[in-house]
Protein backbone atom coordinates (compact mmCIF):
# COMPACT_ATOMS: atom_id res chain seq x y z
CA UNK A 1 0.00 0.00 0.00
CA UNK A 2 2.97 2.38 -0.29
CA UNK A 3 5.89 3.10 -2.57
CA UNK A 4 9.50 2.33 -1.76
CA UNK A 5 11.85 4.87 -3.33
CA UNK A 6 14.80 3.84 -5.45
CA UNK A 7 17.66 6.28 -5.67
CA UNK A 8 20.63 5.63 -7.90
CA UNK A 9 23.86 6.23 -6.02
CA UNK A 10 27.05 7.53 -7.60
CA UNK A 11 29.39 8.12 -4.68
CA UNK A 12 29.86 7.89 -0.92
CA UNK A 13 28.26 11.27 -0.21
CA UNK A 14 25.03 10.52 -2.08
CA UNK A 15 24.79 7.13 -0.43
CA UNK A 16 25.25 8.58 3.06
CA UNK A 17 22.72 11.36 2.49
CA UNK A 18 20.09 8.98 1.09
CA UNK A 19 20.52 6.51 3.95
CA UNK A 20 20.31 9.27 6.59
CA UNK A 21 17.25 10.89 4.98
CA UNK A 22 15.41 7.58 4.62
CA UNK A 23 16.29 6.58 8.20
CA UNK A 24 14.94 9.93 9.41
CA UNK A 25 11.67 9.32 7.51
CA UNK A 26 11.61 5.64 8.55
CA UNK A 27 11.34 4.72 4.87
CA UNK A 28 12.77 1.51 3.41
CA UNK A 29 14.95 2.30 0.41
CA UNK A 30 16.36 0.73 -2.73
CA UNK A 31 19.86 1.91 -3.60
CA UNK A 32 20.26 1.42 -7.34
CA UNK A 33 23.67 1.39 -9.00
CA UNK A 34 24.33 1.42 -12.73
CA UNK A 35 27.25 -0.42 -14.29
CA UNK A 36 28.88 2.91 -15.17
CA UNK A 37 28.57 4.15 -11.56
CA UNK A 38 30.04 0.85 -10.34
CA UNK A 39 33.07 1.39 -12.59
CA UNK A 40 33.37 5.01 -11.37
CA UNK A 41 33.16 3.95 -7.71
CA UNK A 42 35.78 1.21 -8.07
CA UNK A 43 33.86 -2.01 -8.63
CA UNK A 44 31.06 -4.16 -7.26
CA UNK A 45 32.86 -5.09 -4.03
CA UNK A 46 33.64 -1.49 -3.14
CA UNK A 47 30.04 -0.40 -3.75
CA UNK A 48 28.73 -3.26 -1.62
CA UNK A 49 31.18 -2.43 1.17
CA UNK A 50 30.38 1.28 1.06
CA UNK A 51 26.69 0.50 1.55
CA UNK A 52 27.11 -2.18 4.23
CA UNK A 53 29.73 -0.17 6.13
CA UNK A 54 27.59 2.99 6.06
CA UNK A 55 24.57 1.01 7.29
CA UNK A 56 26.62 -0.18 10.26
CA UNK A 57 28.42 3.14 10.91
CA UNK A 58 25.23 5.23 10.76
CA UNK A 59 23.16 2.67 12.71
CA UNK A 60 20.64 2.41 9.88
CA UNK A 61 17.66 0.31 10.96
CA UNK A 62 15.40 0.59 7.91
CA UNK A 63 15.37 -2.15 5.25
CA UNK A 64 17.92 -1.36 2.51
CA UNK A 65 18.12 -3.12 -0.85
CA UNK A 66 21.30 -2.81 -2.92
CA UNK A 67 20.19 -3.14 -6.55
CA UNK A 68 22.15 -3.49 -9.79
CA UNK A 69 20.22 -1.22 -12.14
CA UNK A 70 20.15 -2.29 -15.80
CA UNK A 71 22.73 -5.06 -15.61
CA UNK A 72 23.58 -5.81 -19.22
CA UNK A 73 24.61 -9.46 -18.89
CA UNK A 74 24.48 -12.61 -16.81
CA UNK A 75 28.11 -11.98 -15.81
CA UNK A 76 27.43 -8.47 -14.49
CA UNK A 77 24.46 -9.77 -12.48
CA UNK A 78 26.54 -12.67 -11.15
CA UNK A 79 29.34 -10.32 -10.09
CA UNK A 80 26.84 -8.07 -8.29
CA UNK A 81 25.29 -11.07 -6.50
CA UNK A 82 28.71 -12.43 -5.54
CA UNK A 83 29.60 -9.01 -4.11
CA UNK A 84 26.57 -8.86 -1.82
CA UNK A 85 23.93 -7.06 -3.88
CA UNK A 86 20.45 -8.12 -2.74
CA UNK A 87 18.67 -7.37 -6.03
CA UNK A 88 19.65 -7.27 -9.69
CA UNK A 89 18.01 -6.12 -12.89
CA UNK A 90 18.88 -8.04 -16.01
CA UNK A 91 18.29 -5.73 -18.93
CA UNK A 92 18.48 -7.98 -21.98
CA UNK A 93 15.76 -5.92 -23.64
CA UNK A 94 17.82 -5.23 -26.78
CA UNK A 95 17.82 -8.96 -27.54
CA UNK A 96 15.00 -10.77 -29.34
CA UNK A 97 12.38 -11.83 -26.79
CA UNK A 98 13.39 -15.53 -26.88
CA UNK A 99 17.03 -14.66 -26.07
CA UNK A 100 15.90 -12.14 -23.43
CA UNK A 101 13.88 -14.89 -21.74
CA UNK A 102 16.85 -17.31 -21.79
CA UNK A 103 19.25 -14.70 -20.35
CA UNK A 104 16.73 -13.72 -17.67
CA UNK A 105 16.15 -17.35 -16.67
CA UNK A 106 19.90 -17.88 -16.36
CA UNK A 107 20.18 -14.90 -13.99
CA UNK A 108 17.15 -16.04 -11.99
CA UNK A 109 18.58 -19.52 -11.52
CA UNK A 110 21.79 -18.10 -10.04
CA UNK A 111 19.99 -15.42 -8.02
CA UNK A 112 17.59 -17.93 -6.42
CA UNK A 113 20.60 -19.88 -5.09
CA UNK A 114 21.68 -16.69 -3.28
CA UNK A 115 18.28 -15.36 -2.14
CA UNK A 116 18.53 -12.35 -4.47
CA UNK A 117 15.52 -10.81 -6.22
CA UNK A 118 15.52 -10.27 -9.97
CA UNK A 119 13.91 -7.58 -12.09
CA UNK A 120 13.73 -8.11 -15.82
CA UNK A 121 13.05 -5.75 -18.69
CA UNK A 122 11.08 -6.35 -21.86
CA UNK A 123 10.80 -3.89 -24.70
CA UNK A 124 13.36 -1.21 -25.21
CA UNK A 125 13.16 2.14 -23.44
CA UNK A 126 16.20 3.68 -25.10
CA UNK A 127 17.09 7.36 -24.96
CA UNK A 128 15.69 10.46 -26.55
CA UNK A 129 17.79 9.72 -29.66
CA UNK A 130 16.88 6.05 -30.18
CA UNK A 131 13.90 4.04 -31.22
CA UNK A 132 11.55 2.76 -28.56
CA UNK A 133 10.20 -0.79 -28.75
CA UNK A 134 6.99 -1.31 -26.79
CA UNK A 135 6.05 -4.95 -26.17
CA UNK A 136 2.53 -6.24 -26.51
CA UNK A 137 0.56 -7.17 -23.40
CA UNK A 138 0.81 -10.81 -24.47
CA UNK A 139 4.61 -10.56 -24.71
CA UNK A 140 4.85 -9.07 -21.21
CA UNK A 141 2.63 -11.80 -19.75
CA UNK A 142 4.60 -14.50 -21.60
CA UNK A 143 7.90 -13.02 -20.36
CA UNK A 144 6.72 -13.01 -16.73
CA UNK A 145 5.24 -16.51 -16.94
CA UNK A 146 8.29 -18.03 -18.63
CA UNK A 147 10.96 -16.32 -16.51
CA UNK A 148 9.26 -16.09 -13.10
CA UNK A 149 10.88 -12.70 -12.46
CA UNK A 150 10.19 -10.97 -9.14
CA UNK A 151 9.54 -7.67 -10.93
CA UNK A 152 9.14 -6.68 -14.55
CA UNK A 153 9.96 -3.38 -16.20
CA UNK A 154 8.07 -3.29 -19.49
CA UNK A 155 8.84 -0.45 -21.88
CA UNK A 156 5.66 1.60 -21.83
CA UNK A 157 6.63 4.64 -23.86
CA UNK A 158 9.09 6.44 -21.58
CA UNK A 159 12.69 7.28 -22.41
CA UNK A 160 15.82 7.65 -20.28
CA UNK A 161 17.76 10.89 -20.22
CA UNK A 162 16.85 14.32 -21.44
CA UNK A 163 13.52 14.42 -23.26
CA UNK A 164 13.61 16.00 -26.71
CA UNK A 165 9.91 15.36 -27.12
CA UNK A 166 7.07 14.45 -24.82
CA UNK A 167 6.95 10.83 -23.60
CA UNK A 168 4.09 8.77 -24.97
CA UNK A 169 3.15 6.58 -21.99
CA UNK A 170 0.80 3.65 -22.52
CA UNK A 171 -1.46 4.06 -19.47
CA UNK A 172 -3.93 1.45 -20.77
CA UNK A 173 -1.22 -1.21 -20.71
CA UNK A 174 -0.06 -0.03 -17.26
CA UNK A 175 -3.54 -0.39 -15.83
CA UNK A 176 -4.09 -3.75 -17.49
CA UNK A 177 -0.78 -5.16 -16.18
CA UNK A 178 -1.40 -3.70 -12.73
CA UNK A 179 -4.56 -5.77 -12.44
CA UNK A 180 -2.95 -9.04 -13.64
Contact indicator for 55, 23 with CB cutoff of 8 Å: no
172 catalytic residue (yes or no): no
Out of 69, 82, 150, 172, the active site residue is 69
What are the phi and psi torsion angles at 72 (to 5°)? Answer: -90, -10
Cα distance from N-terminal residue to C-terminal residue, the chain: 17
Angle, CA of 24, 30 and 34, to the nearest 5° = 130
Partners of 87 in the beta sheet? 67, 117
Strands 87-90 and 117-122: parallel
**Phi and psi based region of residue 46 (left: phi greater than 0; alpha: psi -120 to 50; beta: remaining):** alpha
Residues that are catalytic: 69
Amino acid sequence: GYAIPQFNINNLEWTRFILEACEEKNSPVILGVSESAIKYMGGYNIVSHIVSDLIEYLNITIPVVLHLDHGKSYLSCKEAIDSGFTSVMIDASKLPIEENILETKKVIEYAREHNVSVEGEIGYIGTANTDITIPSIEQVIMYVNETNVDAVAPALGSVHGIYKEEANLNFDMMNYLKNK
